[in-house]
Structure 1
Amino acid sequence: MKGFNRYLAGLILFAGFVCCGHDEPAINNDFTVQAFNPVNVNKTNNIQTYVHYMPWFENKQSSANGQWGIHWTMSTRNPDNVDENGRHEIASHFYPLIEPYASGDPNLIEYHLLLMKYAGIDGLLIDWYGSTDFNDYGQNRRNCEILIDLLGKTGLKFAVVYEDRTIKAACTIDPSFDRISGAQYDMQYLEQNYFKNSAYINIKGKPLLLVFGPEEFHTPAEWEEILSVLSVEPCFVVLNGKSTETAPFSCGEYIWVDNTDLDTKYAKKDLFDM
């Protein structure tokens, strides 16, 4: 009886192998991915919605030194510390569902862009740290340009928020660095590499250029000299309350989140025609 059971088990096992072999699907070596052009998301309000985007996050795999980037640590947190829920200790009020990421990861960028697209967002205002390679500015710029290259997949637009404070940092690191010339080169870089992009945001035919501040150049004469290297006049928009430092070369202000009351923030809204 034991021999019969072994024989029967062997037949069943053999039959199982045979059946599995017949059930395997044929491999189609001709399969190709078909790409489609992006389509518009239906919106109930036609006002263009743009988001301020920071391309400055680095993890150990993406950073040049194999360490967590400063924007995950802010010199006060250690992401190598993981709590009982598996969460890294990061310098953020909110924890990313996809874990701390690298801003230059194409898969991450596509994910972010799709989320924005489905949310009805029309474009990104990318925080831009200039054309130099001081500190982490070069990596930020490279991340920015990977992002720009992928915008076409979703049909989103973009413009730049210039961080003129990077000029001060450059002068601190290299005392021979010329403030005005450095900012002028940044403007030329923007015009040559971004303004002509079909996805770049234009306001009344002018490329939109924002500055987070200004934080370094505080007189209209300085901005006149800096912007003079551009062949096309930009729609230059500054931080709320800062247009006295840039007018008549700026054309508007934008609001940033702080403790200033809204009445004060909107007090000058009728002074600008955009």
Structure 2
Amino acid sequence: MKPPTARELLNALQARTKIRLATPPKLVLTFYYGWYGNPAVSGRWLHWEGVDANRQQIASSTHYPVLGAYDSNDPQVIEQHCRWARAAGIDGFIYSWWGIDRYEEKPLPALLEAAQRHQLKVCLYYEQVPQPGDPRSVLPDLRHILRKFATHRAFLKVEGRPVVFFYDRAMHQLSLAQWAWVLEAIRREAPPGICAIGDSLGRTAARVFDGIHTYNPVLALLDKPLAAIRPALEAYYREAIRLADELGRIACATIIPAYDDTKIRKPGIRTDRFEGAAYRQQWQAVMHLNPDWVLITSFNEWHEGSEIEPSVEHGERELRTTAEFAPRFRQQEARPCLAPPLSALPATAITALRKAYRGKTIALMPDAASEALFWLLDVNLSVEPLDYADLIVPDRLTPTRYPVLVYATGEAYRATVNAPGDVDRALQAYLAAGGVLLALPNAPFPFYYADGKEANRAAQFGLPIAGSASRPEAGKTGFETPPVPSLRFQLNRSLLAGAGETLPFPEGGDQRWRPALRSLAPAGTTYIPLATLYDAQGRNWGDSAVLLRLPNGGTVGYIWFRLLEMPAAPILLEALFRLALST
């Protein structure tokens, strides 16, 4: 099988956007690990290190299981896990799956049988891509899962499709366009395909996958006092649930008793259980949010101290809390889907934009999958996806053929096809000839990784984007999370058709701020801001949308990735593409 072409990737993205799910069943699921082994059952220790049964301590485990350092293949252990889960009101397990015939897979058939006896369901958590960068390598894995496990009556299905979750690691080993191709390929090969739940809360991932989730919300809870846990978690998931409603996807909200990996990582991360109150606060948050599925991290990830399985230290406390809330959650009525529409562009603005681009083709750099791509398709402008090899063909990438070139992927790109840096040189030559390069990414920092290595090449193409800093400064750096409250975007209404005055900074999800700064623009640049971030004190934190006319004759534009997911995105995109062709 040949690698998918740029056109095939685009077609797959378009196909995925048409899928909408009916109201899914309300479920409580928990992440489950079958990777533990001991000498009595497996002939050796697996994942347990430094076991001291007399002192009830394990060097690689934050807490000590009531069952001791057990073996995941032990039928009695599997049976007890299912009894506990059923009594706690859990609907099923999300089983960590690492590859065909690996030892972690061995307990799975027995778990499915036990789950069937206890009226539980099982689905899989796809952990890693066999050959990162090659979507074809995923297909044998999915065929194996469908053939060997998904036919079991205990395997969780939604609308007849077996459920497979995809972990963040795997998500980043392929582009979103490649994942779209994988999901469409398996749907055609083994209809109706799978119900795929991606580890991302972003809008573009929600267009590709059937549902969205996050495995670990610890960063939203880190350093939070008990009273702040519920509002922090509600803020973290609110926008993701709204966009899942808008796109007809399954909305998941993950809760975690606590997290402590300081035994296995240095320095590691630790949050407090607050004697079980942190977990209760999170249950109250998801009861208020009312997602489709509540996910619990985890049933038995002992290395990271997130388990609800009974421990010597905490007993059955978290199982009792789960048993209190899970039935109440399932009894809640489906939430009303009142997703706000995208800001409407005046019909005259769309008509004028189509007229301006009549007879013109917009080129897409490889792996385009940001919201900008879907907007271009909705507005019905002519686009042509290019491969990296196309970019370096003499006289192929020219302003005459493609007056606008769009970067709509994540943080990584290929700088080299044949000779070192040949893609970079082609992009620079395109700009020097008067071309327009618009960076409209689906991740924080475009052109940050080149050929798999950290490079930060944005400035080479005239993009004045600032990175983060341990001590963020207004107008000088970006940040990882907001260092001050009450941040808002001020919109340039003189250039934006139908825009309001301000927009709030996102309160949840990925908040990594990578601003454009006038001070970083090349000398002699005409700098046109479209949206600027200010705090309550009036300090300027940089621009989230900007167009720059470079002194070499080229033009570049940039919109921060989260702004592309907000209701004002169509207005900003219309302005950027309109200004890109104006002189």
Q: TM-score range by the shorter chain?
A: 0.5 to 0.7
Once the two structures are overlaid, the 10-residue window that deviates more, 146-155 or 110-119, is 146-155
**2:203 & 2:137 partners in 1: Cα distance?**
22
- Aligned-residue RMSD, C-alpha: 2.4
1:265 paired residue number: 237
**2:128 & 2:203 partners in 1: Cα distance?**
15
Q: How many residues align structurally?
A: 204
2:119 paired residue number: 155
CA contact (8 A) 1:52 1:124 kept: yes
More strand by share: 2
Structure 1 portions without partners, runs of 5+: 1-45, 172-177
**2:64 & 2:213 partners in 1: Cα distance?**
28
**2:91 & 2:199 partners in 1: Cα distance?**
21
Residues 143-201 of structure 1 show CA distances to partners (whole Å, capped at 9, x for unaligned) of 12221132222111111111125x25xx7xxxxxx943331101101111222222222
CA contact (8 A) 1:164 1:216 kept: no
1:193 paired residue number: 148
Q: 1:141 aligns with which of 105, 112, 115?
A: 105
Cα drift, residue 215 of structure 1: 4.1
CA contact (8 A) 2:171 2:198 kept: no
Amino acid at match of 1:223: W
CA contact (8 A) 2:57 2:63 kept: no
CA contact (8 A) 2:121 2:156 kept: yes
**Distance change in 2, residues 1:215/1:224 (3 Å):** closer
**1:124 & 1:225 partners in 2: Cα distance?**
27
Q: 2:82 aligns with which of 107, 110, 113?
A: 113
SS state at 1:49 partner? strand
Larger radius of gyration: 1
CA contact (8 A) 2:113 2:154 kept: no
**Distance change in 2, residues 1:247/1:94 (3 Å):** same
1:16-165 equivalences under 5 Å are 47-63=26-42, 66-69=43-46, 71-73=47-49, 78-79=50-51, 82=52, 85-131=54-100, 133=101, 138-165=102-129
CA contact (8 A) 2:203 2:243 kept: no
Q: 1:221 aligns with which of 177, 182, 205?
A: 177
**2:75 & 2:196 partners in 1: Cα distance?**
30
**1:251 & 1:160 partners in 2: Cα distance?**
15
Amino acid at match of 2:135: I
Residues 18-43 of structure 1 show CA distances to partners (whole Å, capped at 9, x for unaligned) of xxxxxxxxxxxxxxxxxxxxxxxxxx
Amino acid at match of 1:180: P
**1:217 & 1:151 partners in 2: Cα distance?**
31
SS state at 1:126 partner? strand
**1:186 & 1:243 partners in 2: Cα distance?**
26
**1:243 & 1:236 partners in 2: Cα distance?**
15
Cα drift, residue 47 of structure 1: 4.0
SS state at 1:210 partner? strand
Q: 2:210 aligns with which of 251, 254, 257?
A: 251
**2:242 & 2:158 partners in 1: Cα distance?**
17
- The TM-score with structure 2 as length reference comes to 0.33
Amino acid at match of 2:108: C
**1:242 & 1:103 partners in 2: Cα distance?**
34
**1:242 & 1:268 partners in 2: Cα distance?**
7
Paired-residue identity, %: 22
